[in-house]
Amino acid sequence: NSVGGQAFWSLGGLFMVDSPEQRRLGIKDNLDLARQDWLGSAQFDRPEDHWPKQWAEAYLQFAAGEMRSWLHSLGMRWFPVVGWAERGGGQAHGHGNSVPRFHVTWGTGPGVVAPFERLMREAISGGLLTLKCRYRVNEIITTNGRASGVRGDILTPSTVERGQSSSRDVENQFELTANCVIVTSGGIGGDPERVRKAWPRDRLGNPPQNMVLGVPAHVDGRGIDIAIAAGGHVINGDRMWHYTEGLRNWNPIWPNHGIRILPGPSSMWFDAEGNRMPSPCLPGFDTLGTLKHILATGHEYSWFILTEKIIRKE
């Protein structure tokens, strides 16, 4: 029930460069501009940023090259209006997207997952892939200094719905060997205490005591700890991203389930004391800057004001 991970729960927005959707709307984009925006946002300034820089360049080349045609060949399609997410502070050399690049997939998150799940099922049918559901890794096995497999517990079968907490009762153990071990276990967003522990107080101030969670409880950083125990090098734990437009889900799937609302740019935004949020603390502009501003007020919430007259502009 968890195939696709957090992509399933996402809006399905993809960062693509110089796409037909952009060109149809008269949006002028290119690889150099996208690179300038990305580097302005990332602000790479640490020795451990060597590989993140390589990853960023590889993704930019992909997003400006074969990405759309390849995904299109898999059956993915996109909403004709390109969104302008995280447009930053308005300065050319600063952070944020200087042009709209947020391509929303038809079907949102499930629409992103579907073609890859189909390929996965085909690989399973062809004997190229084996899924080991309910196999909980507790340890990465190392041999002569390199990862050579995993071992852990086989949990009892579960039929809970996607995102809900499942049983952790153990019925057996397992051990698997491999020439290569890749950890794709997610981050720490399902554990508020761990988020607070990693919180960059020097940049964002003190963390809020009340948070709503955009991910299920199993996104608890356990896989990160297992990788570290095996000698893995984990970097940038303090570089985190938190949205300020979270609401508590009235019909939660996981504990403290939060939903992020996507306000239009014409909404009026006020801090907890009723003061208008200053630029660039506007909807869709500067998420981390807005987070820092809200926390600096001494409160953990803000107000969106939207009327029928305002929404007509949207």
pLDDT tens figures, 244-280: 999 999 999 999 999 998 877 778 999 999 999 998 8
What residues have CB less than 8 Å from 163, skipping those under 6 apart? 2, 9, 216, 253, 254
At residue 13, the pLDDT reads 97
Average pLDDT, stretch 75-95? 83
- With a cut of 60, say whether residue 38 has pLDDT above it: yes
CA dihedral 130, 135, 137, 142 (to 10 degrees): -40
Q: Percent of the chain, pLDDT > 70? A: 98
The pLDDT value given to residue 58: 99
Q: Which domains does the chain have, with CATH numbers?
A: 5-125 (3.50.50.60), 135-177 (no CATH), 262-314 (no CATH)
Confidence category of residue 187, pLDDT binned at 50, 70, 90: very high
Q: Give yes or no for residue 84 having a pLDDT over 60.
A: yes
Mean pLDDT over each residue of the chain, to the nearest integer:
94
* Predicted pLDDT at 263: 76
Return all residues near 292 (Cβ < 8 A) that are at least 6 apart: 203, 204, 205
Q: pTM of this prediction?
A: 0.91
Cα distances from 39 to residues 44, 54, 63, 236, 241, in angstroms, run 7, 12, 15, 16, 16
pLDDT range class, residue 93, cuts 50, 70, 90:
low
